[in-house]
């Protein structure tokens, strides 16, 4: 519950003007935690509210690195660690090395068969996945208040393009054929991200800007990670289902599995990782749906996200078109909250014609019921949207531990 505390008093002081009042109304999860660990991959657990759980294994290790000024040296060493099967570089502080050796192990419940099927699914559905990760999950991250504020006030907040390329790397790595295999990179990406999150937990509470706007004392709880997780696979699957894309159950299950493994590798306890889509949907209804709200920080991040296509000279991906697609995917309430203008042509076109377009694309409708122009535009949209995110992945990307917050 959003209790009256020192932070709310500061917000009421008008630091953020009109938006400050809006930020005050953004709900944290108001209901007590009731999701049962029986629906998790562990099948059992203490049932502790994950809002009160962070990462007891990584947090003290990384806090120590920051306090002792060891981060620059660690970042330099970890730049050379890129493949899952690669030994850790020599010279890491012992405590960190021990943690990383432990954290890089895949969970005992990993199913290589399912991971193989997930690769097939990612190959078949790559075009849709690119658009959905980018526009549905990406834009949704701006209306998850705690995430928007954490991102905005952390070091990465000042260079959104750089941050997006790093986050896109995780979305890319999980879809590669060897994601979790020794020659893949997903384990490395997850372990490094787990360390970055631990650093953020140590750093953000020292940012006066974050302290003034955030409800929580320590960011990125296990609850928060699962909220963001649901903005990824759960949201993607929701849209694919709504679009009537035919997905055999074993493929949908495999896709879920690849993300269950990711959650574990990011440090989420097994008792919070849903064991099925119905369990995932029920958890999302509890942790994600009720907390979606615009914040001043999120509105600015969304605006910058929607301008990403501009530099790439991709005609179909102007800010208005990306805005219309966001409205189509996430609904009027979120789009209005993000101050996305209504588009008189694209809004109705997407509402009326996207469904039939997908049906034709999937061979479910034999006759083209659309004007060929609209069909061409939509097809071009899918291809170009995938390109935006690929363009962000051109350079070698190194996920590094931050040493400070954003310089405001
Ligand atoms: C950093 C992914 C959850 C806030 C990162 C990075 C990745 C990532 C790949 C490294 C990129 C970089 O260094 O910029 C994920 C995934 C999540 C998740 C897959 C859940 C499934 C969260 C949540 C929050 C958060 C819940 C906040 C509430 C941040 C921040 C950074 C970061 C502040 C650091 C940016 C900086 O360098 O300053 N995350 N994240 N993340 N993440 Fe997450």
Model pLDDT for residues 14-32, shown as the tens digit of each residue: 333 333 333 334 456 778 8
Are 258 and 121 contained in the same domain?
yes
CA distances 152 to 279, 302, 328, 340, Å, are: 31, 11, 25, 19
Structure tokens at 337: 């909250």
Greater confidence (369 vs 251) lies with 251
Are 287 and 303 contained in the same domain?
no
Q: Is 268 in the pocket of ligand 1 (CB under 6 A)?
A: no
Write down the pLDDT at residue 366. 67
Q: Determine the residue of 79, 141, 151 to mutate for testing ligand 1's pocket, defined as the one with the most ligand atoms within 8 A of the Cβ atom.
A: 151
Per-residue pLDDT band for 9 (boundaries 50, 70, 90) equals: very low
- Cα(183) to centroid(ligand 1), Å: 24
- Cα(193) to centroid(ligand 1), Å: 7
- Domain membership of residue 349 (yes or no) is yes
Nearest to 145 by CA among 49, 269, 2: 2
- Domain membership of residue 338 (yes or no) is yes
User: pLDDT > 70: what percent of the chain?
Assistant: 87
Greater confidence (29 vs 71) lies with 71
CB 109 within 8 A of CB 192: no
**Least confident residue range of 99-113, 116-130, 259-273, 374-388:** 374-388
Write down the pLDDT at residue 15. 32
**Mean pLDDT value across residues 151-161:** 81
State the residue range of the domain holding 334. 296-391
* Residues linked to residue 274 through DSSP beta bridges, in sequence order: 40
**Is the pLDDT reported for residue 95 higher than 80?**
yes
How far is Cα 270 from Cα 354, in angstroms, rounded to an integer? 38
How far is Cα 122 from Cα 173, in angstroms, rounded to an integer? 11
- Domain membership of residue 32 (yes or no) is no
Are 274 and 308 contained in the same domain?
no
Q: Is 170 in the pocket of ligand 1 (CB under 6 A)?
A: yes
Q: Which atom of ligand 1 lies nearest, measured to the CA of 166?
A: 11
Greater confidence (158 vs 188) lies with 188
Cβ neighbours of residue 4 closer than 8 Å, sequence gap 6 or more: none
Write down the pLDDT at residue 24. 39
CB 261 within 8 A of CB 268: no
Are 137 and 154 contained in the same domain?
yes
Q: Determine the residue of 79, 147, 197, 269 to mutate for testing ligand 1's pocket, defined as the one with the most ligand atoms within 8 A of the Cβ atom.
A: 197
- Domain membership of residue 49 (yes or no) is no
Please name the residue whose Cα sits nearest to atom 29 of ligand 1: 151
Torsion (CA) 22, 23, 25, 30 in degrees, nearest 10: 160
- Domain membership of residue 403 (yes or no) is no
Q: Which atom of ligand 1 lies nearest, measured to the CA of 153?
A: 33
Write down the pLDDT at residue 13. 30
Are 189 and 252 contained in the same domain?
yes
Are 63 and 97 contained in the same domain?
yes
Are 154 and 268 contained in the same domain?
yes
- The b/e string for 23-60 (b: 16+ C-beta within 10 A; e otherwise) is bbebeebeeebebebebbbbeeeeeeebbebbbeebbe
**Is the pLDDT reported for residue 5 higher than 60?**
no
| CA angle centred on 373, ends 369 and 379, rounded to 5° | 85
Q: Is 196 in the pocket of ligand 1 (CB under 6 A)?
A: yes
Task: Centre a 10 Å sphere on the Cβ of residue 364 and count the other Cβ atoms it contains.
Answer: 12
- Cα(36) to centroid(ligand 1), Å: 26
Instruction: State the pTM of this model.
Output: 0.91
* Residues linked to residue 154 through DSSP beta bridges, in sequence order: 405
Residue 201: which H helix or E strand, with range? helix 186-203
Structure tokens at 334: 């979120």
Residue ending a domain, among 291, 318, 341, is 291
- Cα(367) to centroid(ligand 1), Å: 44
Q: How many domains does the chain have?
A: 2
How far is Cα 243 from Cα 127, in angstroms, rounded to an integer? 14
How far is Cα 229 from Cα 60, in angstroms, rounded to an integer? 24
Per-residue pLDDT band for 392 (boundaries 50, 70, 90) equals: low
Write down the pLDDT at residue 8. 37
- Cα(269) to centroid(ligand 1), Å: 17
Q: Which atom of ligand 1 lies nearest, measured to the CA of 406?
A: 38
- Cα(197) to centroid(ligand 1), Å: 6
- Domain membership of residue 18 (yes or no) is no
- Cα(225) to centroid(ligand 1), Å: 9
Q: Is 329 in the pocket of ligand 1 (CB under 6 A)?
A: no
**Is the pLDDT reported for residue 217 higher than 50?**
yes
Tokens 């509402």 belong to residue: 351
Helix, strand, coil percent content, the chain, rounded in steps of 5: 65, 0, 35
Residue ending a domain, among 265, 291, 317, is 291
Over residues 295-320, the pLDDT tens digits come to 998 898 888 888 876 665 555 678 88
Q: Determine the residue of 152, 156, 172 to mutate for testing ligand 1's pocket, defined as the one with the most ligand atoms within 8 A of the Cβ atom.
A: 156
**Least confident residue range of 59-63, 347-351, 374-378, 391-395:** 391-395
Please name the residue whose Cα sits nearest to atom 33 of ligand 1: 151
Per-residue pLDDT band for 169 (boundaries 50, 70, 90) equals: confident
DSSP structural state of residue 317: G
What phi, psi does 7 have (nearest 5°)?
Answer: -65, -45
- Mean model confidence pLDDT for the chain: 87
Are 243 and 282 contained in the same domain?
yes
Per-residue pLDDT band for 404 (boundaries 50, 70, 90) equals: very high
User: Helix and strand tally (H, E) in the chain?
Assistant: 21, 0
Over residues 194-210, the pLDDT tens digits come to 999 999 999 999 999 99
Write down the pLDDT at residue 402. 94
Are 90 and 178 contained in the same domain?
yes
- Domain membership of residue 282 (yes or no) is yes
The DSSP line for 347-385 is: HHHHHHHHHHHHHHHTTS-SS--S-HHHHHHHHHHHHHH
Greater confidence (10 vs 200) lies with 200
Are 319 and 206 contained in the same domain?
no
- Domain membership of residue 161 (yes or no) is yes
Write down the pLDDT at residue 305. 83
Write down the pLDDT at residue 232. 95
CB 89 within 8 A of CB 258: no
- Cα(345) to centroid(ligand 1), Å: 35
The three-class DSSP label of residue 186 is helix
Q: Is 151 in the pocket of ligand 1 (CB under 6 A)?
A: yes
Residue ending a domain, among 240, 267, 291, is 291
Q: Is 224 in the pocket of ligand 1 (CB under 6 A)?
A: yes
Structure tokens at 310: 């501009």
Q: Which atom of ligand 1 lies nearest, measured to the CA of 219?
A: 28
Packing angle, helices 249-265 and 186-203, rounded to 10: 50
How far is Cα 143 from Cα 231, in angstroms, rounded to an integer? 10
CB 276 within 8 A of CB 256: yes
Write down the pLDDT at residue 25. 43
Are 86 and 176 contained in the same domain?
yes
Structure tokens at 96: 């960190």
Are 88 and 215 contained in the same domain?
yes
């Amino acid at each position: 519950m959003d209790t009256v505390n020192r932070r709310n008093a500061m917000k009421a002081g008008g630091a953020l003007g009109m938006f400050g009042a809006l930020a005050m109304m953004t709900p944290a999860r108001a209901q007590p935690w009731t999701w049962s660990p029986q629906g998790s991959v562990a099948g059992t657990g203490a049932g502790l509210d994950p809002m009160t759980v962070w990462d007891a294994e990584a947090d003290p290790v990384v806090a120590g690195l920051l306090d002792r000024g060891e981060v620059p040296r660690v970042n330099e060493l970890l730049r050379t660690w890129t493949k899952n099967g690669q030994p850790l570089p020599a010279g890491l502080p012992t405590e960190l090395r021990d943690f990383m050796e432990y954290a890089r192990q895949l969970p005992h419940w990993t199913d290589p068969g399912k991971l193989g099927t997930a690769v097939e699914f990612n190959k078949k559905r790559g075009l849709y996945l690119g658009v959905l990760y980018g526009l549905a999950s990406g834009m949704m991250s701006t209306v998850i208040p705690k995430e928007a504020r954490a991102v905005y006030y952390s070091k990465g907040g000042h260079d959104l393009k750089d941050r997006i390329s790093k986050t896109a790397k995780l979305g890319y790595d999980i879809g590669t054929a060897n994601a979790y295999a020794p020659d893949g990179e997903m384990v490395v990406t997850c372990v490094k991200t787990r360390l970055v999150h631990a650093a953020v937990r140590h750093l953000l509470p020292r940012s006066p800007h974050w302290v003034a706007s955030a409800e929580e004392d320590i960011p990125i709880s296990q609850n928060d990670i699962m909220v963001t997780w649901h903005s990824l696979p759960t949201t993607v699957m929701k849209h694919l289902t709504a679009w009537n894309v035919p997905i055999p159950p074993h493929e949908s299950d495999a896709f879920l599995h690849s993300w269950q493994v990711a959650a574990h590798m990011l440090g989420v306890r097994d008792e919070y990782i849903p064991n099925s889509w119905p369990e995932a949907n029920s958890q999302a209804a509890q942790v994600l749906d009720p907390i979606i709200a615009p914040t001043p920080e999120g509105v600015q991040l969304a605006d910058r996200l929607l301008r990403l296509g501009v530099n790439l000279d991709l005609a179909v991906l102007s800010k208005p078109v990306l805005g219309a697609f966001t409205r189509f995917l996430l609904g009027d309430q979120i789009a209005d909250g993000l101050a996305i203008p209504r588009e008189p042509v694209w809004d109705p076109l997407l509402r009326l014609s996207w469904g039939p377009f997908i049906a034709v694309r999937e061979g479910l409708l034999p006759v083209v019921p659309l004007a060929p122009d609209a069909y061409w535009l939509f097809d071009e949209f899918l291809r170009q949207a995938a390109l935006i995110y690929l363009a962000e992945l051109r350079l070698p990307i190194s996920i590094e531990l931050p040493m400070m917050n954003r310089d405001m």
